[in-house]
Amino acid sequence: MVVLFMNMRVSLISEYLFCPFKLYIEEVDERSIQKIKLIRGAYNDFKDLIGDVLPLIHKGMGVNEIRDILKRGVERLAPPSEIEKILEMEAEVESIKIKRFMDVTGKDGYEIRRFIANPSLSNYRIYDDSLELYGNVHRIEIIKGKYHPIKIKTGLPPYKGVWDSDALEVAAYALLIEKEFKSEVLLGFVDYILVGERRPVTIDQALREDLLTIIGEIKGILMGEHAPSANLNPRKCEKCNCNDICPEKL
């Protein structure tokens, strides 16, 4: 497979780290991607919803009242069934967080909005011709004038930190954001939504160098310079749809 253009999607980083040969055979499964896009879209909509409903919440409300307001918002969003329960759990967590913040500050919802809900951009399409790289940043949150890329992950996190592939994608988004907004990006996040955890990614020089190395390797594959070997991993290989043509399995 020879690709006639060099601009590369950020999402190919995860595909490459899963298995270079699988990337070589087929870039992505479109049905799975559309499903994940719907889930990410619903998650982004819920995050934006929090800022919209805070003016309706006052410090005299209990956690249950706040939770009910958020859950009614989830119902209006009509999210895909795969994420509906996740958003309901998020509503539980956020209602406790909002109540605690109001109790500590003595302020109503609209007064704490800037502390709870950050300005954001969702599914922001971005590219850099010099890097020959493009992608849709799942979410960008602007905190004290700084831009922070956020990858929304539907899979489980590792025991500590984030998966290497997630860190590299966040770093790629950071480089694109720096070019787009002329603002240094030193910190990003991965939202592992199944467990309701946001984990930080430090965009340091070592991670940037690793990213550029990986980008170069992926471009070599996409240009047809060489057919890579497969990464043999029993758990991954079992789920891979390239089993029947994988040279390591034949």
Each domain of the chain, given as residue ranges in start order, spans: 8-32+119-245, 34-116
* pLDDT per residue as tens digits for the range 60-93: 999 999 999 999 999 999 888 878 989 999 999 9
Distance between CA atoms of 67 and 235, rounded to whole angstroms? 39
Residue with tokens 């913040």: 101
Residue with tokens 């499903």: 35
Element (H, E) at 142: strand 133-143
Dihedral sign for Cα atoms in the order 107, 109, 112, 115: positive
Distance between CA atoms of 153 and 126, rounded to whole angstroms? 19
List the end-to-end C-alpha distance of the chain, in Å, as a whole number: 21
Most confident of 16-20, 33-37, 54-58: 54-58
* CA neighbor of 8 nearest in space, from 166, 228, 215, 226: 215
pLDDT at 224: 60
> Buried b vs exposed e over 38-57: b needs ≥16 C-beta within 10 Å?
ebbbbbbbbbebbbebbeeb
Distance between CA atoms of 215 and 195, rounded to whole angstroms? 30
On the question of pLDDT at 126 being above 60, the answer is yes
CATH number for domain 8-32+119-245, candidates 3.40.190.10, 3.40.1350.10, 1.10.260.30, 3.90.320.10 = 3.90.320.10
* pLDDT per residue as tens digits for the range 199-247: 999 999 999 999 999 888 777 766 665 555 555 555 655 555 544 445 4
Comparing 24 with 204, the larger pLDDT belongs to: 204
**Could you tell me how far CA 160 lies from the centroid of its own chain?**
17
* CA neighbor of 231 nearest in space, from 23, 11, 18, 12: 18
